[in-house]
Amino acid sequence: MSPQFDNSIEKLNNENKDLQKNAGLHWYHWLIIIASTCLTLYASHITKQQSENNAFSIFQDQVQKVIEQVEERMGKYEMALHSGVAIIKAHNNSTNYSDWKKYSTNFRIEEKYPGINGIGVIYNVPKDKLSEYLLKEREQRPDYKIHPQHDEDEYWPITYVEPEETNLKAIGLDMAHETNRYNAIKKARDTATPQVTGPITLVQDKQKTPGFLFYIPFYTSSDIPPSLEERREKIIGAVYAPFIFDKLIKGTLREDARSVSIKISDDDIMLYSEIENFMSQPKFSTREVVEIYGRKWTFDIVTNNKFDVYTNSKKPYIVLLIGLFIEALLITIFIVLARSNKKAVAFANKMTESYRKKTILLETANEELEEFAYRTSHDLRSPVLSAQSLIEMITEELDDFKNKEEVIRQCLSHAATSLEKLSTLIDDILNITKATYADDETTKINITNEINQTLLSINNLDGYSRIYIQNNVPDDLNITTKANAFRAVINNLISNAVKYQDEAKESSYLKIYYTQTKESLLLHFEDNGLGIPKDQQEKIFQMFKRFHPKQSFGSGLGLYIVQKSCRRMNAEISYHDTGQGSLFTLELPLNA
């Protein structure tokens, strides 16, 4: 039995043992499952953390947006009050009831500034000028009066306020009668800055909810007086706006456009609250203290149910479910693979035994076939050699038979030719055996040397001197392949070019050259000989195919041997009709 067969059986046995070892679930399977489960839990945790971080970022954005919108709206109210101051300044620091009414109507205060309750003018009236002030104002409004009474040395009555219908109770109301109103307007006078009051209840608010007043002072001088004394001396009054806090917030912060609830307070006095929407345990909450025109408003902002609905992410649960599905899938796959491996082991054992038996039969048949070919070749070759020797001896003795010499010589020549054909056939049979079964070591060979050796071995062929052989292969070109197979290929291709020249042409040639790719070396054998008939080109590499029997005798096995030898080298042989002759290309792998 051949070593190659023994190695194959041993390899199959080793593979079967490996399959048997891996037939069940092993520690590395469980390790993969545990690692995958840990990865799933970690991914779910990370996704949950990311979702919470995203939710917190959304909350922070909402908080910032709420505060910015309040500050922005208060800034717009400030501009509206400055506009009122500018109107008064444009009329020499004076206005009257009809002018202010006209200004307010054109200004469309409630339309442009939602949340505001009106806009008005408060004058500073010293006690000694009270009569003069009342006399002037009662020219257009005979029933105008200041209220309520108080003990301060000055008056700060609301002189005009529009729209008048909703603020009727505030007309004539003296800011000096109440601490928050009075302190804020004095601070506005002394600092020459916009100021808001502490929490108050507007007299015009029927609901009696928290509110505040917003003041901007104006003076007799066009510029702000630089010193406190000058400001108190030159003060004329203030343009003001009353606010009901509930109306302000609803005009500024649309509740349906946000997912947080707010509570605003000043000195622990609640100004506005959406406490009915507060969650008992909100997801996020914060407290921000904001400076608003001389007051510190505290914003308590918490998430509400809408925020939870908006930010409730199902990604962590989706990741977890997908991960668990993958774990179940892995376990199923491992179980199926384990069962399949057991079946594969049983099948492999069965097939190995079958392979062993069939291979023994094939090995025996091949050995018998080789022996048959060998013995047949040698048995045929021995009488052929004897016959050739006898013919040579007879030929030497023919000198005595002068009359019949020519006839005898012709007969002997035909016998010699037949024997030569028989010898060629025997050589080809041996060459086929070698090309199929012979051991041929892979070795590094020099291509030019092999070509030169082949040319030297065929220089006695008929027509060799007539053909021009051009070898363009460089002297240092080497290839690692099976040497005997390579020699068989180039010997056949070169000798065929010599044998099958087109004698009708003035000259014959054979060009040998090469090209190269990353994977292959390509040797080209191009001649201008008889070529292959087009209807026979598909059968070019079949056994016993002769395409020009009258040109040169042979067995028809040459190109069949070429193809067999190429297979032993893992090479490819191809034929191309050039129109002038034949082009054979031998493609040899470089990584043999």
In angstroms, the Cα distances linking 312 to 48, 158, 309, 322, 528 are 10, 52, 5, 19, 84
Q: What pTM does this model have?
A: 0.51
Question: Which amino acid is it at 157?
Answer: P
Question: Which sign, positive or negative, has the C-alpha torsion 188, 194, 200, 205?
Answer: positive
CA atoms within 13 A on the CB side of 6: 3
Question: Which amino acid is it at 89?
Answer: K
Question: Which amino acid is it at 334?
Answer: F
pLDDT score at 24: 65
pLDDT score at 3: 60
- Could you give the CA distance from residue 571 to residue 412 in angstroms, rounded to a whole number? 44
Domain ranges of the chain: 74-307, 440-589
Contact 199, 193 (CB under 8 A): no
pLDDT score at 32: 82
Domain 440-589 annotated CATH 3.30.565.10: yes
pLDDT score at 121: 97
CA atoms within 13 A on the CB side of 452: 9
Query: In the block, which residue shows the tokens 């506009």?
Result: 83
Structure tokens at 215: 């003041």
pLDDT score at 322: 83
pLDDT score at 372: 46
The list of the chain residues with pLDDT below 70 reads 1-25, 255-256, 275-280, 313-317, 334, 338, 341-342, 344-345, 348-349, 352, 355, 359, 361-390, 393-440, 543-556, 592
In angstroms, the Cα distances linking 143 to 135, 150, 173 are 11, 20, 14
Give 150-184 pLDDT, tens digit per residue: 888 999 999 999 999 989 999 999 999 999 999 99
Give 525-565 pLDDT, tens digit per residue: 999 988 888 887 787 777 666 665 555 555 667 788 888 88
3-class DSSP state of 238 = strand
- Could you give the CA distance from residue 287 to residue 67 in angstroms, rounded to a whole number? 11
User: Which homologous superfamily is 74-307 in?
Assistant: CHASE domain (3.30.450.350)
pLDDT score at 436: 52
For 115: left if phi > 0, alpha if psi spans -120 to 50, otherwise beta; the answer is left
